[in-house]
Amino acid sequence: MEVTDIRIKRVEGGGKLKAYVTVTFDDCFVVHNIKVIEGRTATFIAMPSRRTRNGEYKDVAHPIKADFREKLQADILSMYERMGEREEISMADEAPQAGA
């Protein structure tokens, strides 16, 4: 499974939540609402989740293998770092333009 697009939208407000991410796989499957979180020691991603009846949060979608999760997190955080002051960024924004 290959990541074919990553779109990041910055969240204003100054809290721990820094951005929402949408990731497309193989140009045919998309996962919305991955979060970029600023932790105490590092920035990390949190997968989309929903609150259960007892108040716990459960992931709606998540990687099964640790190596895939690490690669996905590295790809997202690399793009997040490159977005600078922009409000939004996607892989298409960074692709070389035809004829350039």
Domain CATH code at residue 10: 3.30.1120.40
Tokens of 24: 């497309």
**59 neighbors 51 (Cβ within 8 angstroms):** no
In a domain, 97, yes or no: no
Number of domains in the chain: 1
In a domain, 47, yes or no: yes
Round the average pLDDT of the chain to a whole number and report it: 92
Confidence bin at 95 (pLDDT 50/70/90): low
In a domain, 98, yes or no: no
Q: How confident is the model over 52-68, as a mean pLDDT?
A: 95
pLDDT for 98 beyond 60? no
Give the up-direction half-sphere exposure of residue 98: CA atoms within 13 A in the CB hemisphere. Answer: 0
| Domain region containing 25 | 3-92
Cβ of 73: how many Cβ atoms within 10 Å? 16
pLDDT for 57 beyond 70? yes
pLDDT at 92: 80
